[in-house]
Structure 1
Amino acid sequence: MTTDPPREAFIPYPRKDIIKLCLSDGHLTDETAKEFAAFCEILTAFYHFKFHSTLDTIKENYRVFNPNAEIQPLYETSLQDYEAMGRSLMQAFKRTLDQANYYPVPEATIQQALNSRTLINLKTDVDFNDFEQVLCYCRGDINQTIKTKKFFFWEAEQTVDILERLVLLIQFKGERYFQAKEKQTKRKRGQAERKFVPGKMYVYFYKNIPKFDLDLLFPNVKTSMTLRDQLMLAVPAIGAAIPVLLKALPNILILVAAILLTLNAGSALESIDVEEEQARNIMPVLVATLTFVIALGGFGVKQYSQYKNKKIKFQKDVTDTLFFNNLANNASVFQMLVDIAEEEECKEIILVYYHLLTSAEPLTPQALDAKVEKWMVEKTGTAINFDIAGPLKNLQGLRGYVGGVEKPLMDYDDQGRCRLLSLKDSMAVLDYLWDNAFDYSEG
């Protein structure tokens, strides 16, 4: 039995393609189609202007938290301003993520990742006390079947729970916290060794991340081998150590005998089957010591090399995940997410406006939602969980003067059904909004 993947609000098609679908649907006359295309163009330009303001707000408030900032401020930021900027940044970014149809990753999922492994077989530990705040959003929770290497050249198929897009924002606690922590553990670490700056925000944007490998994305993650990998190193090591010890046993006994003679315990030589003359002769003792040290050292170097090679392989797996699946870091993440949010908002408004415009009868929000979802399946074969509340709220918020009377693009009648302005009046409202985007007129 197969189950359909959960539907999401994200519309996986370009805005211009959505407009083309509406224009080719056959419900608009040639004249109306031209007006609708012009409406979409002006609406898109207005929202581009609107989201440019959002991006400016985010960039301005992020500058004091940016670990890679190149431009130094002329004026020092007060503690009060610092906290206010942090709040404004988080509010604007959360709103942007919501508009981009991303949703929060449950904390339980992150915790579960610490105890589960998908593609990278590592034991991990993340100290969440190091963080002032953590924000984790995603889109596209899907199952994907991939081939993984098990033993030597044998491959096996594995079904993995994948997050198609993931946004992670982390703010580290301040310098005092880490100084106190290092004092408590009696280990001082410089900023270069930490690889992060206390108090700063680190933002990451990834694609196709296994849900239960989320822990590897945290910059303070500590990795170690699993019990299985430890046994795979330890068992061969024990097997290889036994012949070395057996071969070195006679030399070990001579060393023990020499030590016993030094401690005036010559009577014990009989119990270890070593002649007193052998133990008193310094050359056999030195040869025995050197042989034992070389054998033990060679064995130790070989085992350490195997451990280092295993560790390097693990680090490469983690690096590949972070490098090849990384889309953006820090300030560039905001630019990408604002662009996505702008596209999603415009697509949703255009779909709602088109279906209200072409509907033969007034529609309630519930009926409109169902109609858009059905239309998307018919036209694209994609099932989405359309977010009807957002675009309706946006259409209500777009207000302008038509014939001297202020009107919204959409409101509701007495029965709670959606009521839309005509295309001509809608264009007049958008024209009013553009004319009043900047008001520099003197009193």
Structure 2
Amino acid sequence: MSLERFIPFRKSDVISMCQSLFIKEEQPSFIEFAELFASVIHFEYHKRLEVLKDNYAPFDPNADTQLLKSISDDEKLTCQKTFAQEFASILNAANYEIITDQDLQDALTEESLFKVRLEVAFDDFAEVVFYRRGASTKNETLSTWWGLRKQTISFTNYDRVAVFIRFKDAAHFANKKIKPVGFEPGATIIKLFQNVPKADLEMLFPNSEVRMRPIDKVIIGASAAVGGAVVLVTKLGASIILVAALISYWLGLRNDNVEFNQQHLISLGLGLGLFGSFIFKEWSKFKNRKIKFMKALADNLYFKNLDNNAGVFHTIIDAAEEEDCKEAIIAYSVLLNSKAQLTSEALDSEIENWFEQTYHCPLDFEIADAIAKLERLDLIERDGDYISARTLDDAKARLDARWDNFYQY
């Protein structure tokens, strides 16, 4: 499994980790630098949040406010496209990775960990993108054959999964003669989940439907066949023989006349009633088993769902802001403490080794993004392929000047 870009420590913890790189006399100055840097990044992300909110408002399914003016379909489509692009950019900044189409297809073919088979109508979607962050291999013991057999399996688990889905318009559902339930045609929905096994990604689709697994159909079918045979033999055996003899007489296959009296009719009626009740009972078993699977699906999603729609991009914005801060503060701290000029590759290697050796945390540090942020804020100097960090006092002065000049009214 490839290394993750995600830094699995909180921003405050990362600042404490970097603080330990400085001598005691420099640590207060470094804390001031970190606070200033985080404030500047927070202000910039506040602007990005407003862009997301403004472009999501025309099709927000949970909005409790009114639009000032009506929006045309073309304007709504423009807002959707702008939102999708900016949302994807924010997810990338938060170090989420796109889940490929092959991963989604694997999820549909692999057996679910909670033994439910789902089908998804992909043609209902105009756009589907899944993102994940934090992949790990986990083991789980599953019971089969009514608990008589236990099997330990390994599976890929995603710590976070973000779902972006845009439904097709009303004409599509009208042509299919389907009435959408729980969503509006053309709507865009966003969801965030936690601890999702790769094999169960299909349960995150809003239109997934529970289907019986082959083994469940065999169990129910075998039970119904045996029970039906018993009912036919014990309750309808004599009546079936009598009816068969009567039909044979009518068809000229036998010469002896068959008498069908009132007692025979009552027995036949009771037998058919019992057989009908048996059929109803078996059908109820089938429906109850399906309801049981639907409850298992609902229970699973209840504890995995973290946020929905507008709440998702508020959460992702916060995550992206944290990742940007962590990456840049780490790169600046390690570069400043190296007391020398370094290439990007050398700095990247030094940071990754520091995390692995000191915190037992192997990761794929995103050095390009970190350096780009530090260069944009003029906190490092470049000499060809080599870079060096400005002093803490110089860096704080530049961040303070930027903060003071955000507005010049």
* TM-score greater than 0.5 by the shorter chain: yes
The 8 Å contact of residues 51 and 342 in structure 1, kept in 2 or not, is answered as yes
Code of the aligned partner of 1:22 = C
Partner of 1:205: 192
Moved more, 238-247 or 338-347: 238-247
Partner of 1:253: 241
C-alpha separation in 2, matches of 1:143 and 1:275: 75
Paired residue secondary structure (2:266)? helix
C-alpha RMSD of matched pairs (Å): 1.9
C-alpha separation in 1, matches of 2:327 and 2:70: 42
Is 1:20 aligned to 2:16, yes or no?
A: yes
C-alpha separation in 2, matches of 1:329 and 1:320: 17
Is 1:431 aligned to 2:400, yes or no?
A: yes
1:153 CA displacement:
3.0
Paired residue secondary structure (1:57)? helix
C-alpha separation in 2, matches of 1:79 and 1:146: 48
The 8 Å contact of residues 58 and 89 in structure 1, kept in 2 or not, is answered as yes
1:208 CA displacement:
1.0
Q: How does 1:53-68 map to 2 (within 5 A)?
A: 53-68=47-62
1:333 CA displacement:
0.7
Q: How does 1:99-118 map to 2 (within 5 A)?
A: 99-118=93-112
The 8 Å contact of residues 116 and 297 in structure 2, kept in 1 or not, is answered as no
Q: How does 1:1-400 map to 2 (within 5 A)?
A: 5-25=1-21, 27-30=22-25, 32-154=26-148, 155-182=150-177, 188-189=178-179, 191=180, 194-247=181-234, 248-256=236-244, 265=250, 267-268=252-253, 270=255, 276-277=258-259, 279=260, 281=261, 283-398=262-377
Moved more, 155-164 or 329-338: 155-164
Cα deviation digits, residues 12-50 of structure 1 (max 9, x gap): 11111111122223x4350x2221110100111111111
1:11 CA displacement:
0.8
C-alpha separation in 2, matches of 1:15 and 1:105: 26
C-alpha separation in 1, matches of 2:252 and 2:104: 65
Code of the aligned partner of 1:79 = D
Paired residue secondary structure (1:149)? strand
Moved more, 90-99 or 291-300: 291-300
Paired residue secondary structure (2:136)? strand
Moved more, 235-244 or 365-374: 235-244
C-alpha separation in 1, matches of 2:213 and 2:18: 55
- Name structure 1 gaps, 5 residues minimum: 183-187, 399-407
Moved more, 113-122 or 361-370: 113-122
The 8 Å contact of residues 336 and 388 in structure 2, kept in 1 or not, is answered as no
| Equivalent pairs, count | 407
Code of the aligned partner of 2:357 = E
1:268 CA displacement:
4.4
C-alpha separation in 1, matches of 2:358 and 2:164: 37
C-alpha separation in 2, matches of 1:205 and 1:257: 67
Paired residue secondary structure (1:64)? helix
C-alpha separation in 1, matches of 2:282 and 2:300: 28
- Name structure 2 gaps, 5 residues minimum: none
The 8 Å contact of residues 142 and 153 in structure 2, kept in 1 or not, is answered as yes
Q: TM-score, normalised by structure 1?
A: 0.87
The 8 Å contact of residues 124 and 168 in structure 2, kept in 1 or not, is answered as yes
Paired residue secondary structure (2:67)? coil
Code of the aligned partner of 1:284 = Q
The 8 Å contact of residues 124 and 221 in structure 1, kept in 2 or not, is answered as yes
Code of the aligned partner of 2:311 = S
1:275 CA displacement:
5.4
Paired residue secondary structure (1:159)? strand
1:266 CA displacement:
7.3
Query: CA, structure 1 residues 52+240, in 2 after alignment: closer, same or farther (shift >3 Å)?
Result: same
C-alpha separation in 1, matches of 2:407 and 2:271: 86
C-alpha separation in 2, matches of 1:284 and 1:237: 29
1:139 CA displacement:
1.0
The 8 Å contact of residues 38 and 325 in structure 2, kept in 1 or not, is answered as yes
Query: CA, structure 1 residues 71+260, in 2 after alignment: closer, same or farther (shift >3 Å)?
Result: farther
Cα deviation digits, residues 181-232 of structure 1 (max 9, x gap): 21xxxxx53x4xx221111111111111110111111111222112121111
C-alpha separation in 2, matches of 1:153 and 1:83: 53
Partner of 2:383: 413
The 8 Å contact of residues 373 and 384 in structure 1, kept in 2 or not, is answered as yes
Query: CA, structure 1 residues 92+266, in 2 after alignment: closer, same or farther (shift >3 Å)?
Result: closer
Cα deviation digits, residues 377-410 of structure 1 (max 9, x gap): 2221111110001011111111xxxxxxxxx222
Partner of 1:403: none
C-alpha separation in 2, matches of 1:285 and 1:269: 20
Code of the aligned partner of 1:376 = F
Query: CA, structure 1 residues 28+298, in 2 after alignment: closer, same or farther (shift >3 Å)?
Result: same
Q: Percent identity?
A: 32
C-alpha separation in 1, matches of 2:65 and 2:265: 66
1:412 CA displacement:
1.6
C-alpha separation in 2, matches of 1:50 and 1:242: 73
Cα deviation digits, residues 403-422 of structure 1 (max 9, x gap): xxxxx2224203x1013222
The 8 Å contact of residues 203 and 333 in structure 1, kept in 2 or not, is answered as yes
